[in-house]
Structure 1
Amino acid sequence: MAGSQIEQWQEPELQGDPAVETAAAAAAITLAPALAPLPRPRWQRRLAIALGLGALGGFGGLLWWVFLRTPPSPYVLDISPSQSEYALAQGDSPRLSWQVSHPRQVQTILLRGYAPDGTLAYGPETYDLSQGLPVNLLPYCDQARRLLTCRDVPLDLRQPGQYRFELTLLPDMGLNLAPVRAESSLVTVADLPQPRVVELVPDQVIYSEAGTQVSDSNPTLAPAVTDAGIRVSWIVANPESLQDLLLVVKRPDGTTLGGRRFTLRNPSSPSPVALPEELQPFCQIQDRLICQGVPSGMVEVGQYQFELTPVPTNLGDRDLPAAKQSEVVNIQPRPVRIASFTINGREAEPKYLVPVEPGQSIPGFQVAWRVEGGSTAKVELLPSPGTVGLQGALSMPLSPAGTTTVTLRVTDGQNPPLVRAVTFETFNPRPNQPVIINQGGGSPNSSGQPAPAPSTPAPAARPRDPLGDSLRDSDSTSGSTLPELQNRSPDELDLKF
């Protein structure tokens, strides 16, 4: 009943309204079964397949890159010196440039230098790249992801010769890659020119002994040597290659007396040549080393010859350069002089006549001397006691033989000696004493001969004074002196010593 009412209510509306009929027709078309789609073109299907395969391959390639790919090996793109020749004389040292690919795969770089015969001459120099560029390469290198570039890296190489440098790359241990090596072209390091002594001269060839008084009255005397001793001057070419200077002092016969070493460069580092403190007041370095008036300390009397030898840097097994010798220098002794030579306090005469009466003791005398001279002066009193000091006094007896000669001999060791001699000659002042005969006669003696008259007694002897007039007259001959002395009394002779 209800259903019929609905149908009754709807049906007249559906049948009578044209708009409703149109909407119903459209709905009927929509709810009808759909037709089968048309097939897609073949190229679209192939493109879809290709895209799927590409995506799958890209994913697989990514997995291979991350987990299965072998990393690229590093290698040396270039290694070359900045120039083929270097001159040690100009302070140059070899410089090397290189390029390395994939530096992140490199843990260590080794740099070696070899002589042409294969002998290791430099290095190995080690650069650790595990933490990035080392500090000693930062000023010379730039590192990118795939390239390490180093330019003009200086090498501490001061030995002359020819070298070929080798760069070795040691990859990271985890990569399990073999080392990579590359060699540079040949590099020549020119030797420094050898130092050479051009001139070695003493400031004077003749000196006088220290303390010698040189005056206008002695124009032949050379200037006296000072406490600095003999001074020498020299000129050395190519001083930039000097290590040391050896100054040796010898005798003319080759005997070495001593020497000095002047160090001009620190042997433990390649520092430039510099004057030592003891040479600074006397020398200067320009293109040559010029030294003037260098004191040697040689002050003793004698003959000397100097020898200067330059010692170059990097001498190695090579022989020393030739030494330069100076001419012979002579230090002459101070001239000797007999300042005084006295007998009994008076200046000595060449000859003395000493009266000695028969039965009387032979007197003695006192000789004194003073000599001026230097360290080589030698004084002798002959025949005895021989060598004595530069001054002194001695009491000496006269010889019973009748003649005594005392000689003072002074020498400086080089020049002829100075000699002063004194001769003492004893004589009897009364050689012909008369015998007085008694004129009145006398009683005969037991033999029947008359007894001789007693002789007149001789005057009593008086104390005699020190050396007097007879010694001052001793330069006269004995023939002219004896009669005069014979007529004098002992008091007047004044010949007691």
Structure 2
Amino acid sequence: MVKQQSNLIGTNPSAEKASGLKQIDLLYLSDSQRKIAQWLMTQADCTLAQVATHTELDEGDALINLYELIQQSFVQELEVDGESRYRIRLAAKEGIQQLSETIQQALAPGSPLAVIPNPSGEHAVVAGASFELRVTVSNKGYQSALIDIYIDEVSQTLLQWCDSPQERLALSPQSTSEVVFTFLVPAQASPGIYNYLLVVDAPQHYPEDTPIRYSQKLQVLPYVEDAVRVSDPTFTVTPATNSLTPAIIQPGQILQVTVAVHNRSDRVDRFWLSFPDLAQNWFTVRYPENLEQVGLVLAGDGLDLNPGAKGEILVLLNPPLEATAGNYFPSLRVHSANHPDLMLLDLVYLQILPIYLLSAELRTLIGKVRRSAGVFEVRLTNRGNTLREVIIRAITLEEEDFCTYTLDPTQVQILPGNTATAALEVKPNKWWRRPFYGGGLLINFGVELEDVQQLPLPNDLPRGVLVWESRAWWQFLLLILTGLGTLAAIAFLIWWLFFRPPIPPKILEFTSDNPSYKEVDGEFIRLNWQIRNPQQIQSFAITGLSANGAASVQPRTYDFSKGIPNDLKQFCVIRTVLICKNVRTEARQPGDYTFELKVFSKKGKDVAADTAKTNLIKIQPLDLPKISEFVSTKPVYQEASSLNTKYSKTQPSVEDMISLNWKITNPNQLKELKIVGRAPDGSVSSQLKPLDFSQGVPKELSKFCKLQEDLICQNVPTGIRKPGDYIFELTVV
């Protein structure tokens, strides 16, 4: 027969030893956690929906806050009839044996995704029943994300039991959602523990923080038959155990369990025991001895019972020394030879007590150093049966600490029976403490350990010694050279401060304000310069040179013996350097110029301390008027009839005389136009009146000319009607 009961989630021995919630702990909780804890203190077991309703939180936020309270051992989570319920843990109940356990997977610090699988860790289910895995995911990042949640392919057996082993969520920032995986465990499934891997992945939006993997366990219990026949055998287990009162045992000790079997059938039957969930080295079954022959007693391999008879089978549970501390509930099955398909099951609840045994060793790899660091290795061996998480520190054992200690890693997790190592480097960092002679300086240090869960640690911690070897003999020579160098530096400093000659002025920059000027603008060439050490300037001279090197502008000399001269005060200023800008020269005529600046110091008034020249500077001449087009309106003209002209009352038509068109660029500089008509032999056949453009377009051309950017004149009459060949010449003045 099987006793149905509420299964608790996971195993965490440290949670069982927690003190629970105290009144002072409420002061250090967040507002939402304090609200949940105060409400749970007035209630019995509550569901997630009830907590969310009475605390005015959504279920996602309520679940996250409950999970954090579970981590602190202030709330315990139970599963009753397939539903998770929550109960407050108060400090007053510290001494009561409870099997509440916390969720094993924590929120990853700094991760944008918070994932809470429920149940977490290990869960038990009867073959033929269904099992739901609920996964709550919160997007704590600042972007929307597509999140894939699936059962990894390595878990082939559970993939066959799950209808939909992969789900996808689309979560906006600061939102929470939940997916449910349903597993239908077949009735013929073999009892045992099935490992599977839950994966949460967001490769598109959080590639650096995912995938996140959670190792889970599903324990399948033997199939339970609902109907029990009157003739079926029954059995009882002594001592009786349940989830609240498990049998407590130390690793390596023996727990004696008696199984009393009652054969209620009308046939002789043979019975034997098995533990499907335990390894063979965990238990020993002893059946009653059989008397095969007179005087010969043999150990039996089963329990033979007559109809209606009762018998006992002795089971010795002896967990090995390496058994991990925690709660176990292996299934016990009684087999019947007459009814091989009959499932006679019960659970034995065990609690294996923890053993806290940790050994520390410090190995010396490099113990004598001169300039480098000493290398050591810290070895921690977990000889107990609990997971240990230890913080390692190196401390000095000297009165003065003059070493740098580097540990990698500084925190280790050690599984039962395993060894963790950490590299330790010890480097002396006060060079003057190194001895000059002798056998070297002994530096004593030790290793300090701290258990994250405040579990017991060894009293005698390892110590180490680093030998800092004395200096080599040639370092004395270096010391002497250092002293001589110091004296030389002091002498140089005295010379620099009191006897050093002043630094002569230096031209840092000498340029023109503009590399090209135009005569039409009427601007003078302007210069800029900067001179370092202006306090040493006696005078400087500026000379303008033409392309052949001759002076094209009268040289200018400025006297700085009394500071900035009046001519330059509006252009120059003295700071750390002398800065002069836009200083006007006398160069304004078209041509190419190069200016030379000579600076004379107060110590050498006759020889220039520094000289600099500008690049080539051009003043472009005025743009002269240019004839771009000059043509007649027609290549051939027809002489007007003399009769028509004689008897006509109107003036002769303009079309009967030669008219000219022309276009002149740069008309602003135009003063006068001259038009001369010549015969083919070059003689002057006609000469028009000069046209004065000094005041703009003359009146006689106002109807024919337009003055814009260019001067355009069209159909200008010449007054020539006589037949002949003409060549016109246009001259611009």
Q: TM-score, normalised by structure 1?
A: 0.32
What TM-score, normalized by structure 2, do the two folds share? 0.24
- Structure with the bigger RCO (C-alpha within 8 Å, sep 6+) is 1
Q: Choose 1 or 2 for highest CA Rg.
A: 1
